C-alpha cells in the first residue's frame, strides 16, 4: 500500500526569497530537444490509451 503524501513545507524568509527568484528565471529549451520530448510523450500516451 502506498504511503500518504506529506504536506508541502511553507517557505519563509530567505528561503522564500531564493525560491521566488529562481521561479522568475525562464528556462530555455532547444527546439530539437522539445520535439524529441513531445515525440516520446505522444508515443507513451498512445501506448497507455490502447
In tens, the pLDDT along 1-50 reads: 789 998 988 999 999 999 999 999 998 999 999 999 999 999 999 999 87
Q: Compute the distance between CA of residue 31 and CA of residue 33 in angstroms, rounded to an integer.
A: 5
Pair 34, 26: CB distance under 8 Å: no
Report residue 12 as a C-alpha cell. 519563509
Distance of CA 12 to the CA centre of its chain: 22
pLDDT number for residue 1: 77
pLDDT number for residue 38: 96
Report residue 24 as a C-alpha cell. 522568475
Pair 42, 34: CB distance under 8 Å: no
**How many residues does the structure list for the chain?**
50
pLDDT number for residue 32: 96
pLDDT number for residue 12: 96
pLDDT number for residue 24: 95
Amino acid at each position: 500500500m502506498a504511503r500518504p503524501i506529506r504536506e508541502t513545507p511553507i517557505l519563509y524568509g530567505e528561503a522564500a526569497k531564493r525560491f521566488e527568484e529562481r521561479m522568475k528565471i525562464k528556462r530555455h529549451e532547444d527546439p530539437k530537444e522539445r520535439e524529441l520530448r513531445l515525440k516520446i510523450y505522444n508515443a507513451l500516451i498512445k501506448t497507455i490509451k490502447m
